[in-house]
């Protein structure tokens, strides 16, 4: 839902220690106790205009006087104070992507000039993520290339379940009780604590991908605290898990087919003039027989090739040429470009640990043993003959099998009512979050609007000038786009 996208441009940058805090005095909203004394801000080192702070919240919102954790918060005030309309909370997705870092270091790349002019923009690293303390750590890597996520037999399934259980236990051992309190309901309460600490009666919210799950949960818990809310690349966790994985498999396959069609008509594509689907199928089959070599690194398995190709597809059309080049190089025996993507998408121990831990709390895969996995594998591979069912939701489905911490909530979530109009955005050809999920989520939010971007890649904001303008206008004014609005790629 965002993890496989190369948000990692910022991940290697050192983040300074954030300082500040909020006192223990509190008020209560909807059963959630939140601090109300404000945040002590300091200028972020070497980042003009950015303020860094910390807000303390309970580890367990059911025991608000117990152990506290610290959320890293970064704010950039509206560049035109006379035109300021309020505070905008931002979540870039993942789950596991640190919003505070993006607001601090990459605000001009992440937000339009209009949003930076009209809002105080606030990035919060959710609990366990980024510079929030404690950060989630696991003693075992989430992904093991020797253990397939597409088990060929019951013994392979048992190995996968045992590995997942060991990873989950290592997270608890390395981090303490935090992994049992990472569900999005807790994160939404954390965000309301930050709202109260800022002294805001209402906030605007902009969430992308997983951020749509967080925004929707915030609106469900705190409808009276919402001024405006835009949810781009939307996910509806109320959809049954078996449908989520099938939808996702079909969406990834659709994006691959569109990539192949682009190569067919584009002379600069490294695969132009060739049958892209056949080339890809032969490459994956070769990797099934023996992993493809990587200069200076570990060879890649067929599954890693497919997940890395998926990462490229989330960034098309901009990175379509890169995917074509990666395929041609891998054909020649060096999967270096795929390995670079894999390192960001699958190998980072912090982001993958957060991703797995949060989603296993949020979404019940509803698996019933190996027979159920085989049935779902047949369904997704039938729907995706080239990408073979590869998707983030398959990673989540089988990755949560055996996870030692049970899901926190039922998928049967109540509709969202008594909120101002909320804008939901979906792309027609999004490989990570299919358009039907945006339609479904919009249908569950009373009075919401749906904006469609008729294009490729994951999420629409700053990918489409039309969608960006609609989202900006809505966030600033609260006026939804006209019913039936569609932005062309």
- Using one digit for the tens of pLDDT, what is the confidence trace for 161-175? 999 999 999 999 999
How wide is the angle at C-alpha 297 spanned by C-alphas 295 and 300, nearest 5°?
A: 95
**What are the pLDDT digits (tens) for 377-391?**
999 999 999 999 999
| Confidence check: pLDDT of 393 > 80 | yes
Give the separation between CA 62 and CA 265, rounded to whole angstroms. 58
Residue 427 has pLDDT above 90, yes or no: yes
What are the tens digits of pLDDT across the range 70-118? Answer: 999 999 999 999 999 999 999 999 999 999 999 999 999 999 999 999 9
Mean pLDDT of the chain: 91
What's the whole-number mean pLDDT along residues 281-286? 98
pLDDT range class, residue 257, cuts 50, 70, 90: very high
Q: Is the pLDDT of residue 5 over 60?
A: no
The tens digit of pLDDT for each residue in 318-375 reads 999 999 999 999 999 999 999 999 888 766 767 889 999 999 999 999 999 999 999 9
This prediction's pTM:
0.92
């Amino acid at each position: 839902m965002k993890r496989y996208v190369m948000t990692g441009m910022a991940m290697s940058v050192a983040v300074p220690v954030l300082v500040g805090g909020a006192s223990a005095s509190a008020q209560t909203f909807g059963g959630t106790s939140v601090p109300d004394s404000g945040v002590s801000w300091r200028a972020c080192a070497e980042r003009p205009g950015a303020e860094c702070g910390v807000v303390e919240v309970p580890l367990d919102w059911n025991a608000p006087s117990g152990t506290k954790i610290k959320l890293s918060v970064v704010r950039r005030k509206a560049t035109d104070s006379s035109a300021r309309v309020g505070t905008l909370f931002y979540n870039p997705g993942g789950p596991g992507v640190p919003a505070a870092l993006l607001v601090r270091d990459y605000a001009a790349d992440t937000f339009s000039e209009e949003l930076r002019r009209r809002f105080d923009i606030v990035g919060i690293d959710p609990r366990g993520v980024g510079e929030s303390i404690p950060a989630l750590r696991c003693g075992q890597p989430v992904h093991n290339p020797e253990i397939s996520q597409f088990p060929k037999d019951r013994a392979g399934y048992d190995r996968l379940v045992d590995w997942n259980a060991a990873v989950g236990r290592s997270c608890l051992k390395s981090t303490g009780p935090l992994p049992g309190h990472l569900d999005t309901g807790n994160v939404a309460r954390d965000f309301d604590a930050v709202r109260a600490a800022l002294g805001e009666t209402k906030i605007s919210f902009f969430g992308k991908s997983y951020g749509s799950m967080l925004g929707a949960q915030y609106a469900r818990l705190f409808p009276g605290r919402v001024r405006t809310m835009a949810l781009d690349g939307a996910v509806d966790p109320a959809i049954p898990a078996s449908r989520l994985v099938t939808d996702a498999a079909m969406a990834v396959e659709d994006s691959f087919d569109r990539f192949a069609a682009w190569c067919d008509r584009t002379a600069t594509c490294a695969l132009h003039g060739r049958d892209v689907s056949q080339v890809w199928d032969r490459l994956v089959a070769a990797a099934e027989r023996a992993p493809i070599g990587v200069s200076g690194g570990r060879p890649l398995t067929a599954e890693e090739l497919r997940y890395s190709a998926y990462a490229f597809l989330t960034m098309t059309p901009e990175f379509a040429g890169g995917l074509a080049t990666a395929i041609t190089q891998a054909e020649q025996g060096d999967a270096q470009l795929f390995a670079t993507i894999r390192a960001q998408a699958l190998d980072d121990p912090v982001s993958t640990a957060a991703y797995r831990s949060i989603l296993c709390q949020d979404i019940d895969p509803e698996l019933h043993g190996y027979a159920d996995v085989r049935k779902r594998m047949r369904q997704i591979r039938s729907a995706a003959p080239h990408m073979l069912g590869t998707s983030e939701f398959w990673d989540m489905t089988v990755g949560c099998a055996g996870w030692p911490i049970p899901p926190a909530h039922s998928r049967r979530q109540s509709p969202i009512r008594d909120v101002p109009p909320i804008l939901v955005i979906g792309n027609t050809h999004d490989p990570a979050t299919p358009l039907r999920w945006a339609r479904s989520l919009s249908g569950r939010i009373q009075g919401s609007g749906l904006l469609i971007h008729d294009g490729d890649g994951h999420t629409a904001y700053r990918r489409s000038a039309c969608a960006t303008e609609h989202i900006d206008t809505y966030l600033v004014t609260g006026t939804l786009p006209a019913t039936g609005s569609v932005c062309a790629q």
